[in-house]
Structure 1
């Protein structure tokens, strides 16, 4: 019985140990078999491509891409697994090495064939037709993509060879040399393409309408060429970095071409090359375009200076003409006309200067027109101020240096624009009032007339001599040097008040003397009343106290006479 148990335990041990190992070996064998199958198919498509065209050619390319992706996935899965790599038998490892060596040879052959194909296509380009040029660039972009994919596969194949212990130094050297030659060629093509694109863009800005379509197509073709070459150069630089080559000059070309800033900008070699390139371009541009730009700049400055002088002269002439005119224009309207003439001349000068600078004035004016409509809707309040400013200028309710009460403000008008008025108050504050607020409110022009009436009220007591008081007031008023004889002053007993008998004193004075007369007469009449014994009563009220019979607890009450 013990012997049978021992046999069963041995059988279970053998099953647990050797069956998983057998399964693992079976999986490895299946993977290697799949690698061999993919390799055979890939070699057939690469070394012996079918003579097909059209959609069948596209189908073959898609097949090659699919096989390459499958081969890369399976090879990475196998070689990156240390346990699986250690479990390979010598025969299986040799099989993988054979596959990698044959793939390396096939890749080199495919690269040579693609490079020859691209060279033939470049040599066969004989047309300058922009439409054919765009189609040709699209075909070249497809060839470049195939070549880039094969370069990536070749680099991956070298990495796999390192992992299985195959010597790769010679392959790396040759591959690096080929990549450097390719990077040099692409860099030259990029520089050339950018120059052509700049020339076409400049030509388009001055071309006739009939030439625009052709130039647009040519520009699209060169942009396609630049994009394709940028992608290829970016991949080539990446592969060269993996091989440890110096790629600073190619990175400088990439940054200058794409304009995108990467971590390579922190590389001192790349930065120095970029600065050198930009300084060279700047100096070349200064030498080529500097004299012309300097001449245009001087011409623009001269034009603006001439029109500025003409505008100032025209402003003075307009002011002089309106001042001598019999139309009796207000100072605000004169200044408005002069300002409009000045601005129109300056605007015309700016347009002439822009034309000399090469800027199309017609489209610019059209753009201003459209923008004016939009701005008009957005600035309705400002347009209301503008309209109110025009109404003020036309109807002239006040002028510069007039004292007005308008928009809730009292002061002297200093300036009026089409948007607002500047008013200085009596206490020397400067207030900006919108024109629509002035026009929509009551406007009082205090200094519009040359002559104003001073309104004063003097009260005397009921017991004072009315005739004497009237005589005193009359003498003081007529003695003042600024009181006008015509119209004659009005001095009348006008009111019998609660506390006084009131005289209304109404002398006429020149507007500029209003406050002097007001203050002088108030002071002098008060002094004269004191001298003549005439009282100026203050408000008073008599209070009478009546004693009534009330209880002791109730206080006395005050009552007013009715």
Structure 2
């Protein structure tokens, strides 16, 4: 069986005249549509300028609102949140204006943005919940910038309340970012809200110790510290008869900013004071009895 040979059709070479004709046709098209091209070019340049200028205006207005709110002594975290909201809202408005300049129907754009927003919202439910939680934090203000709080299982000083997260600084100077939904969804402990705090010590002494004398020694030590508040007073009492000690609860009140310094100092002073009076602070011990076989 014989195979048919396919002979390729000859390709006509491109002549200089063909190039000239193509260039002439392109030149003619550009000449005939020059007004249209100029209009499109002007619209595109205008749209770019609207975006650039709009971005600058949005940032400027955001900063101005931030300065205005700061002058009114609003919390810095709230100021940052509101400034960011205004900045993003203005940028979206300028973006729609730029799209309208290049011929895109703004009503269609708004509809598309709405539909896209719905789709994105369903896909990013977590982010939207963080945004909604941020609004609640700003509205109810369970804490403010600079407060020492415990939220979402972490503790630190509040540095900023942003749109989607709250930024904390831990005591060892680490930045911790907590999603706003985690902040609102759990317990919030604000250690800085009130001006005073109570220190809680548990001091164990030997069963052979004079309990009345022990109480007097501890009370005298605490009264000597000027940082301890006179009101509501110092509370000292037996809280438990433990396995190897009689436990006293010691509860002085201090200013919030003095809490940790007084906590450490009083604990050391109580130990030294009890040692000086010969009052033993026992530690767990184990007695082992060995029986010799007969």
Q: TM-score, normalising length from structure 1?
A: 0.44
For 1:483 and 1:180, locate their aligned partners in 2 and report how far apart those are by CA, in whole Å: 101
SS at match of 1:475: helix
User: How does 1:72-87 map onto structure 2 within 5 Å?
Assistant: none
Match of 2:167 among 394, 398, 422: 422
1:17-59 Cα distance to aligned partner (Å, 9 max, x none): xxxxxxxxxxxxxxxxxxxxxxxxxxxxxxxxxxxxxxxxxxx
1:81-100 Cα distance to aligned partner (Å, 9 max, x none): xxxxxxxxxxxxxxxxxxxx
The residue that corresponds to 2:70 in the other structure is 319
The residue that corresponds to 1:80 in the other structure is none
The residue that corresponds to 2:211 in the other structure is 466
Residue 504 of structure 1, CA deviation: 0.9
Q: Which has a greater percent of helix?
A: 1
The residue that corresponds to 2:246 in the other structure is 501
For 1:520 and 1:434, locate their aligned partners in 2 and report how far apart those are by CA, in whole Å: 37
1:379-415 Cα distance to aligned partner (Å, 9 max, x none): 1221122222223333333222222222221222222
User: How does 1:342-381 map onto structure 2 within 5 Å?
Assistant: 342-345=87-90, 347-348=92-93, 354=98, 362=106, 363-381=108-126
1:504-562 Cα distance to aligned partner (Å, 9 max, x none): 1000111111111110011111111122111111112334444554xxxxxxxxxxxxx
Match of 1:525 among 270, 274, 281: 270
SS at match of 1:538: coil
For 1:537 and 1:303, locate their aligned partners in 2 and report how far apart those are by CA, in whole Å: 72
Q: Contact between 2:62 and 2:84, CA under 8 Å: does it hold in 1?
A: no
How many residues of Structure 1 are paired with residues of Structure 2 in the alignment? 286
The residue that corresponds to 1:475 in the other structure is 220
User: How does 1:534-549 map onto structure 2 within 5 Å?
Assistant: 534-547=279-292, 549=294
Match of 2:138 among 387, 393, 402: 393
1:458-498 Cα distance to aligned partner (Å, 9 max, x none): 12212222222111100111111211111101011222222
- For structure 2, list consecutive stretches of 5 or more residues without a partner in the other structure: 1-5
The answer on 1:191 being equivalent to 2:27 is yes
- For structure 1, list consecutive stretches of 5 or more residues without a partner in the other structure: 1-75, 78-148, 156-175, 206-284, 324-329, 550-562
Structure 1 residues 505 and 198, CA, compared in 2 at 3 Å: closer, same or farther?
Answer: same
For 1:499 and 1:462, locate their aligned partners in 2 and report how far apart those are by CA, in whole Å: 8
Structure 1 residues 304 and 428, CA, compared in 2 at 3 Å: closer, same or farther?
Answer: closer
Higher Rg: 1
Structure 1 residues 533 and 193, CA, compared in 2 at 3 Å: closer, same or farther?
Answer: same
For 2:48 and 2:132, locate their aligned partners in 1 and report how far apart those are by CA, in whole Å: 39
SS at match of 1:410: strand
Q: TM-score, normalising length from structure 2?
A: 0.79
For 1:453 and 1:481, locate their aligned partners in 2 and report how far apart those are by CA, in whole Å: 15
Q: Contact between 1:403 and 1:445, CA under 8 Å: does it hold in 2?
A: yes
For 2:249 and 2:134, locate their aligned partners in 1 and report how far apart those are by CA, in whole Å: 40
Structure 1 residues 387 and 297, CA, compared in 2 at 3 Å: closer, same or farther?
Answer: closer
Residue 194 of structure 1, CA deviation: 4.4
Structure 1 residues 469 and 370, CA, compared in 2 at 3 Å: closer, same or farther?
Answer: same
Residue 299 of structure 1, CA deviation: 8.5
Q: Contact between 2:80 and 2:160, CA under 8 Å: does it hold in 1?
A: no
Q: Contact between 1:311 and 1:341, CA under 8 Å: does it hold in 2?
A: yes
SS at match of 1:503: strand
